[in-house]
Amino acid sequence: DTGVSQNPRHKITKRGQNVTFRCDPISEHNRLYWYRQTLGQGPEFLTYFQNEAQLEKSRLLSDRFSAERPKGSFSTLEIQRTEQGDSAMYLCASSLGGGRITEAFFGQGTRLTVV
């Protein structure tokens, strides 16, 4: 399967714990995005990378959230000291980008439940 892969698919954690999610984009895609989606809402932009550089991070994102994309390949999203409000589906997408954005391919997502 050459699509976007996310792991784990589901994560249940206790409030206050740290969690880390992984995203493997389509191999030739230089852009990688993280979105968060709650029930009945559209995907909310969190951050994006062009190659290994994190070019933008949502102002809505607290300092507890950090993302990396070492070597411009896979990416990780870490949430420290999780809160119940962090419960959501975390979606990763990748695309080819230079100037204008192109089609974004989404992974299946990681569903986080904070108890």
- Shorter beta-carbon distance to other proteins: residue 79 or 93: 93
* 3-state SS track over 32-81: EEEEEECCCCCCEEEEEEECCEEEEECCCCCCCEEEECHHHCCEEEEECC
- Shorter beta-carbon distance to other proteins: residue 80 or 105: 105
- Identify the three-state secondary structure at position 84: helix
Q: How far is the CB of 60 from other proteins (least distance, A)?
A: 9
- Shorter beta-carbon distance to other proteins: residue 104 or 112: 104
Residues of this chain that bind other proteins (CB under 8 A): 33, 35, 40-45, 48, 55-56, 59, 91, 93, 97-109
Q: How far is the CB of 16 from other proteins (least distance, A)?
A: 29
Q: How far is the CB of 28 from other proteins (least distance, A)?
A: 17
- Shorter beta-carbon distance to other proteins: residue 2 or 14: 2
- Identify the three-state secondary structure at position 82: coil
Q: How far is the CB of 9 from other proteins (least distance, A)?
A: 11
For residue 70, the tally of other CB atoms under 10 A from its CB is 9
How many angstroms separate the CA atoms of 78 and 66, rounded? 5
How many angstroms separate the CA atoms of 8 and 22, rounded? 7
